Structure 1
Amino acid sequence: MLSYIIRRLLSILPVMLIAAIIIFVLLHLAPGDPAAVMAGNSATPQTIAEMRNKMGLDEPLWWQFGVWALNLLQGDLGQSILWGTPVTTLLAQRIEPTLSLTITTTFFAVSLALLLGIAAAAKAGAAFDRLVMAFAVLDFSIPVFVVGYGLIYIFAIKLKWLPVQGYSSIADGLGPWLRSLALPTLTLGLIFIALISRITRSTLLEVLDEDFMRTARAKGVAGGPLLLKHALKNAALPIVTVIGMGLGFLIGGAVITETVYNIPGIGRLLVDAISQRDYPVIQGVTLVFSAVYMLVNLVVDLSYPLFDPRIRY
């Protein structure tokens, strides 16, 4: 197991290098000039040229990447053009809202999705099963921002149960923290629920058709024990895999959700950086998101033996 973990961690390095190159090249090929943004609308060409020289943007692309990569190896993600603050500092300041949203969404979505998927499989072909599947298809088709604005209109503007926007730190109390995360969690969690519930249902139905399940029924096992003790255990691997892959949706969805609800997290930081062509922040945040996604997939792989003892690394 230890050798497998070391190999997987080492395999992340070339992937991160490729990701860094792609991020850097695509960002610099995109339209827009951060020097022109920083200089202002009334800046002269000479002022913009001086700004580009000051920011090092007049150097060859390979040279800029080499400087950035060298700093990256030393743990330096660069300094924000817009805020004049190290990118690592900005990430540290913004990590609590994003981490809070990710934790609450994962807990809420996975718990509810498993219940819906198991119940739909138990009532396959019935009205409840069709209702769950219709909800999953519909919810997966609606953009996150549409869901967000709809929930704001209903629960914040009309019913006035929850705040429209903003974030309360957990240091301000558990109640205000949960209230500020309720709508964002529901918005981001609905898509996650749709994905996991569909996979849970379909995987359970496949397992229920296996020979060993028919043997269990012949021995008198039925109902809850059949689903939870036998079927769900054997369907765990695909479900866990989808949950890990679904965290990629959370990363992308968090960017939109934090913008809709004005949450000062890493996703909102990325949106602000893109609008101002803040290259160091965009590169740093995107690279961190890529690293987190790969580490999550590693954790998912390492969890497989817990659900299937036949798997050994």
Structure 2
Amino acid sequence: MLWLIKRIAVSVVLVWVVATVVFLTLHMVPGDPAELLLSGGGTSPDPYAVQELREKLGLDRPILLQYLEFLERLTQGDLGNSLVDDYPVAQEIALRLPRTLELIAAGTLLAVVIALPAGTFAAVRAGGTFDRIASATAAFLQALPVFVLGTLLILVLAQWLRWMPAGGYTPFAQDPSRHLLLLLLPAVAIAKGLAATVFRMARASVLDQLSRDHVRTARAKGLTPGRVIRRHVVRNAMIPVTTVIGLQMGTLLGGTVLVEYVFNWPGLSTPLLRAVEARDYPMVVGIVLTVSGLFLLINLVMDLLYAVLDPRIARS
């Protein structure tokens, strides 16, 4: 329990650090944010409008006071309103975040279900035909950019063969089958990098475990090869694999921006790109903090999985 409390405390401190960095970065941007927001087509904005917007954003107050008010709003879940349409940032994120999380979860599940058994089998049959083909495929997928794969999937499966829709979104409650069909291609696109990484790590980790003394002892006792793999190899090999999955899931949060754009999936990427283009700082800050918080939450969940896989970690 003490171990868990320490991990949660560290995560809370890191959230505060990220929030502080985001706040300071916003105030270190060259130029007056209010003037930048009101500048259009290179024209100089009205000074009275600039001053009014500065007061609305609270930029006329001392920076320390702005920082304390910023932290207070965060503790209340208030991320402010969008400068573009005056819509609450928290509501926009709450609407779109589940769609991004669904895409990440589907991609992760697809990658793990395929790559983990493939990596284990390739290690057990190291040097064989399957091992060579799977390793070459993993290397190719890891080098292939996600937007290229997404474009190829649309071109081949949607345009040429017409097996799949090119993109879009349908709520699950409205049409479950259509929703899952639209989810499949972006999930495959986002899963490719994670699948390649998990395969390589699983193969290397299983190969390492197969050479350990306790595995040779288990074989000497007459245990069947399947039982040796399940009880003495796979579980120990999962710790480094879990580490890679946790780190890569954080990377997927950034990778979804391109995937959602290519497949017109209405997640967080659309408001983020629109906010950056329009200099909508409250929306940018809200999305960045949300993604950072998710990354820390994923790391915390991975720590808990370590404790399940190896109880000695929780006692350290």
Task: Give the TM-score taking structure 1 as reference length.
Answer: 0.91
**CA offset digits 1:203-251 (Å, max 9, x no partner):** 0000000011112222333543332232101212111121111211211
Residue of structure 1 equivalent to 2:130: 128
Number of paired residues? 312
Paired amino acid for 2:175: G
Paired amino acid for 2:69: V
Residue of structure 2 equivalent to 1:40: 40
Structure 2 contact 79–88 (Cα < 8 Å) conserved: yes
Match of 1:293 among 295, 303, 307: 295
Residue of structure 2 equivalent to 1:310: 312
Structure 1 contact 148–257 (Cα < 8 Å) conserved: yes
Structure 2 contact 209–236 (Cα < 8 Å) conserved: yes
Q: Is 1:68–2:70 an aligned residue pair?
A: yes
Q: Is 1:91–2:57 an aligned residue pair?
A: no
Cα displacement (A) at 1:59 = 5.0
> Considering only aligned residues, what root-mean-square deviation do their CA atoms show, in Å?
2.2
Question: Relative to structure 1, is the Cα distance of residues 68 and 96 closer, same or farther in structure 2, using a 3 angstrom cutoff?
Answer: same
Cα displacement (A) at 1:41 = 2.7
Question: Relative to structure 1, is the Cα distance of residues 152 and 38 closer, same or farther in structure 2, using a 3 angstrom cutoff?
Answer: farther
Paired amino acid for 1:132: A
Listed as ranges, the matches of 1:114-263 within 5 Å are: 114-263=116-265
Question: Relative to structure 1, is the Cα distance of residues 28 and 148 closer, same or farther in structure 2, using a 3 angstrom cutoff?
Answer: farther
Q: Greater CA deviation, 134-143 or 244-253? A: 134-143
Structure 1 unaligned residues grouped into runs of 5+: none
Cα displacement (A) at 1:64 = 3.7
Question: Relative to structure 1, is the Cα distance of residues 163 and 27 closer, same or farther in structure 2, using a 3 angstrom cutoff?
Answer: farther
Structure 1 contact 97–167 (Cα < 8 Å) conserved: no
3-state DSSP class of the match of 2:163?
coil
Paired amino acid for 2:265: I
Q: Is 1:5–2:12 an aligned residue pair?
A: no
Structure 1 contact 34–278 (Cα < 8 Å) conserved: no
3-state DSSP class of the match of 1:221?
coil
Q: Is 1:18–2:17 an aligned residue pair?
A: yes
Paired amino acid for 1:73: T
**CA offset digits 1:66-91 (Å, max 9, x no partner):** 33222112221111112211111101
Structure 2 unaligned residues grouped into runs of 5+: none
- Whole-Å Cα distance in 1 between the matches of residues 314 and 59 of structure 2? 50
Structure 2 contact 3–314 (Cα < 8 Å) conserved: no
3-state DSSP class of the match of 1:172?
coil
- Whole-Å Cα distance in 2 between the matches of residues 39 and 206 of structure 1? 60
Q: Greater CA deviation, 203-212 or 220-229? A: 220-229
Structure 2 contact 250–298 (Cα < 8 Å) conserved: no
Cα displacement (A) at 1:39 = 5.3
Q: Greater CA deviation, 217-226 or 72-81? A: 217-226
Q: Greater CA deviation, 59-68 or 231-240? A: 59-68
Question: Relative to structure 1, is the Cα distance of residues 166 and 31 closer, same or farther in structure 2, using a 3 angstrom cutoff?
Answer: farther
Residue of structure 1 equivalent to 2:83: 81
- Whole-Å Cα distance in 2 between the matches of residues 34 and 87 of structure 1? 18
Question: Relative to structure 1, is the Cα distance of residues 147 and 37 closer, same or farther in structure 2, using a 3 angstrom cutoff?
Answer: farther
- Whole-Å Cα distance in 1 between the matches of residues 122 and 34 of structure 2? 52
Cα displacement (A) at 1:28 = 4.1
Structure 1 contact 77–284 (Cα < 8 Å) conserved: yes
Question: Relative to structure 1, is the Cα distance of residues 58 and 52 closer, same or farther in structure 2, using a 3 angstrom cutoff?
Answer: farther
Task: Give the TM-score taking structure 2 as reference length.
Answer: 0.90
**CA offset digits 1:41-67 (Å, max 9, x no partner):** 375332562464243445555444333
Structure 1 contact 273–281 (Cα < 8 Å) conserved: yes
Paired amino acid for 2:201: I
Q: Greater CA deviation, 213-222 or 162-171? A: 213-222
Question: Relative to structure 1, is the Cα distance of residues 204 and 44 closer, same or farther in structure 2, using a 3 angstrom cutoff?
Answer: same
Where has structure 1 moved over 6 Å in runs of 4 or more?
none
3-state DSSP class of the match of 1:170?
coil
